Every structure is written in structure tokens, then in C-alpha cells.
Amino acid sequence: MSRKIKVIAISGSTRKTSSNLNLIKGIARLTSDIFEINIFEGLSDIPQFNPDLDLETPPIQVADFRQHLKTADAILICTPEYAMGVPGTLKNAIDWTVSSMEFSKKPVALITASLSGEKAHASLLGTLLIIESKMTVDTQLLIPGIKSKIDEQGNITDQLTLGLVNKLIQSLTDLVLKDADTIEAPFLIN
């Protein structure tokens, strides 16, 4: 591929100073030679999912979100865990894509970075797989204790975490460049 890989990045947190947004910015710097990362900032503007509104012409915010996903080569999701689950705004946005299938066969990397994150990670991974996201074991990562592993500028300060993020980046790159096999069920989650 002679051009940069176009990645749409979504932070599951809508806080302007969230660790997940900082992590996306750090990944954007780490990958500036191979990825063109566009951070989707309209998550909180997407209306509550309503099947009655999921028509040929959906709400403009939904159409915008879907267009960002369609034009990307890959999707990067970095999300915290809220009350042992997926943040509502993130799940809501994904619900709007079920009928239009923007995640289907699209290479996706999922990072759940929170205090713990296990429950949200398992739940979101299950959702992404059921809507046919193209993922491998190495394009998903759980980072517990994120606040101690990243600074406010998005620099990953923990070397083990940096190594795991670099492995995820390489795996997402490989998934985009090669037609890798998709996984069919959740894994490594107890």
C-alpha cells in the first residue's frame, strides 16, 4: 500500500481529558508514518438509537458517523469501562451501524483502558464480533490501571504497555494489508 492507512479512531469516553483520548493521540504519534488517524469527535451528538429513525435517510449525525466508518481502512476503539460496562454513548453509536453494516468485514482494533476494564472489554468484544468486525487475538488489548501507564500528552510511560500497543498496531496493519482470517468467538476472557 503506497498511501497511509486511513484509521477512524473512537474514544469511548467523551471527556476532553480522558486517558483513552490521550492514548489515541499517542498512538497517532507512534504511527504517523503508516496511519492517517482521524479522531471521531461526534459521539455525544449521535441521538438515542431508535429503529423507527433508522431509515434510508437517518439522522444527520448518524449519517456522518457511518460515512466516517465507510471511508476508513480500519477502526480503532479506545474505551474505558463505566460501571462494569461499555459507555452508553459508544454502545449507542455502534447500535446505529447494525443495519447498515459499517463494521462488517472492517479491520478493527479494540483497546479497553480503564481501572479494570474486563467486563466492558468482554461485552464490547462480543458486540464487535457479532456485527462481523474483522479482528484477531492481537488486535484487541486490555490495559488495566491506564492512569499509571500514560501521561497527559498521550505518551505511554509503561514499557510493557508500549510493547503491547506496538504489537496491536502491527497486527492492525497486517490485517489491513493482508486478508487475514477473522475470529468467530470471544477469546481469552474468563
HEC secondary structure over the chain: CCCCEEEEEEECCCCCCCHHHHHHHHHHHHCCCCEEEEEECCHHHCCCCCHHHCCCCCCHHHHHHHHHHHHCCEEEEEECCECCECCHHHHHHHHCCCCCCCCCCCEEEEEEEECCCHHHHHHHHHHHHHCCCECCHHHEEEEECHHHCECCCCCECCHHHHHHHHHHHHHHHHHHHCCCCCCCCCCCCC
Give tens-digit pLDDT for 90-140.
999 999 999 999 999 999 999 999 999 999 999 999 999 999 999 999 999
Give tens-digit pLDDT for 3-23.
899 999 999 999 988 999 999
Q: Is the pTM of the predicted complex or chain greater than 0.85?
A: yes
